[in-house]
Amino acid sequence: MRDTRSTRTFFVIAATVALAVAGCTSGNSGSSASGGGNANATVPTTPVTLTWWHNGSAQPLLGLWQSVADDYHKAHPNVTIKIDPLQNEQFLTKVTAALQTNDPPSIYQQWGSGRMATEVTSGKVMDITQAAAPWIGELNPKITVGWQQNGKQYGVPYDQHAVGFWYRKDLFAQAGITTPPTTLDELNADVVKLKAANIPAIAIGSKDRWPDAFYWDYFAVRECPTSVLKGSTDLKLNDPCWARAGNDLQAFIATNPFQNAFLGTPAQTGAGSSAGMLANGKAAMELQGDWEAVTMVSLTTDTNLTSKIGWFPFPAVPGGKGDPKVVLGGGDGFSCTTKATGACVDFLKYISSTPVQEKLAAAALVPVNEAAVGSITDPNVKENAQVLQNAPYVQIYFDTSFPFTVGQALDDAVANYFAGKGTPATIVQSVTQSASGGK
């Protein structure tokens, strides 16, 4: 899930675990043991234990990942997989620290792109290029490329995401809104209608800060041409479209679209979170990824929730130079560390297989294995998958596409602006200053 992202994956309500966890025991692995070298996807003939860190700590993902590990163990009795779920908001801190030790987890949740590139510099992330080559072509190349660095594959996504607005059909009807908005002007008009009906228009979990970034990110995606978005990895952000994104954000916040005391609201923890507000009919909209379908189920007792909610893409911005079909999103995946054996890569292959990917589709996720997309049953997630399929380009969340420290600086600047500190210009300045070492 998004880190959030992140991240965004971004799942929720995980148990706290100790930072120092056991790595895998060595065996006849057929893998490179250090230096990020290429591993062979071989299963050892002697017992080996793989430790697996993920953030799928709420049902159905918690049980699904356990069943995946159990099924793999049944097929490969020599491989035992020890699962340690981590709380989403603590995940990145723990992983960053663990990669500086001699006992990182064997497998860990990975969001790819610039954040992954930062982790690769630790020398602890396994290069799986050769081992994954026979089967990675079965996955959506628009997403798997985010797990590459300098032409080498350092991880594999298991699902793909698009961020957009979740909404309550019943609350829209109460406010006299008959169809979801397709333009920013229509969205602003709907906010007015909802507020007039005494309905909190948009829920946001600003306590966790990363949900704020989705708004600046999407205004940038709508204002900037795809060529500029692709070039954003130079971290200069000189094109005027970046400044326009900040101005759009300023104007949007000025309409007061969010719930009262939104700065103290968590994103996904508890019924009072922004996800919980939408799930329980306490707000009409929330800007989040497809993962929110799973998150909301765990935060309400309403068994008819799926029929009451809908999803629509972020609206077009009048005058924006960005393609309105471009999507802000990414994916969740896993990387192996150099402490792991070749069985780790074989396990990633198993997670990428059509049968396992079909289980993810049934759990309301968008699988990255395109052969499994047809197994999605949730109508809102189907719509999300269709938007991804039609997207000419998927812009990875900027806090993920940028190097880790730069992405954090961006998130902090956006969150501070939501809290009334700084100006739209300081958001862009935070990126350039962080990229230049604060100068």
Of 98-102, 163-167, 322-326, where does mean pLDDT reach its minimum?
A: 98-102
With a pLDDT cut of 70, the percent of the chain lying above it is 90
Is 397 in contact with 6 (CB distance < 8 Å)? yes
**In the numeric block, which tokens belong to residue 7?**
């991240």
CATH superfamily of 2-161+329-396: Periplasmic binding protein-like II (3.40.190.10)
Decide if pLDDT at 39 tops 50: yes
pLDDT of 134-150, one tens digit each? Answer: 999 999 888 898 899 89
| Pairwise pLDDT comparison (32 vs 288), residue with the higher score | 288
Distance from C-alpha of 278 to C-alpha of 205, rounded to nearest angstrom: 11
Q: What is the mean pLDDT of residues 30-35?
A: 34
Burial-class residue 90 by CB neighbours within 10 Å (0-12, 13-18, 19+): middle
| Element holding 327 (H helix, E strand) | strand 327-336
Residue 102, Cβ density class (10 Å: 0-12 exposed, 13-18 middle, ≥19 buried): exposed
Q: Is the pLDDT of residue 18 over 60?
A: no
Nearest Cα neighbor of 328 from 428, 269, 397 is 397
Q: Which parts of 175-308 are beta strand (E)?
A: 202-203, 285-289
**DSSP 8-class letter at 421:** -
User: CA 234, CA 227: separation in Å to the nearest integer?
Assistant: 12
Q: pTM of this prediction?
A: 0.81
What pLDDT score was predicted for residue 291?
85
- Which amino acid is residue 253, in one-letter code? I
Angle formed by the axes of helices 184-196 and 240-253, nearest 10°: 10
Contacts of 103 (CB under 8 A, 6+ apart): 20, 21, 22, 23, 339
Structure tokens belonging to residue 121: 């510099």
Q: What is the DSSP letter of 182?
A: S
Distance (Å, whole) CA 402 – CA 111: 12
CB atoms within 10 A of CB 75: 9
Range 94-117 average pLDDT = 90
CA-based torsion, 35, 41, 47, 50: positive or negative = positive
pLDDT exceeds 90 at position 83:
yes
pLDDT digits (tens, 9 = 90+) for 235-274: 999 999 999 999 999 999 999 999 999 999 999 999 999 9
Name which residue leads in pLDDT, 58 or 209: 209
| Helix, strand, coil shares, percent, the chain, to 5 | 45, 15, 40
pLDDT, residue 87, reads 73
pLDDT single digits (tens) 224-242: 999 999 999 889 999 999 9
Angle formed by the axes of helices 354-362 and 61-75, to 10°?
160
Residue 417 parent element (H or E): helix 404-418
Prior bond of 60 cis (ω within 30°): yes
Measure the CA angle with vertex 187, ends 378 and 267; round to 5°: 55
Predicted confidence at residue 438, as pLDDT, reads: 61
Question: How far apart (Å, rounded) are the C-alpha atoms in residues 17 and 25?
Answer: 20
pLDDT at 72 over 80: yes
Q: Sketch the domain layout of the chain as residue ranges.
A: 2-161+329-396
* Mean model confidence pLDDT for the chain: 88
**Which pLDDT belongs to residue 38?**
52
How many Å separate Cα 162 from the centre of its chain?
9
Decide: 237 and 431 in contact? Cβ < 8 Å: yes
For residue 35, the model assigns a pLDDT of 36
| In the block, residue with structure tokens 């026979």 | 134
Predicted pLDDT at 154? 97
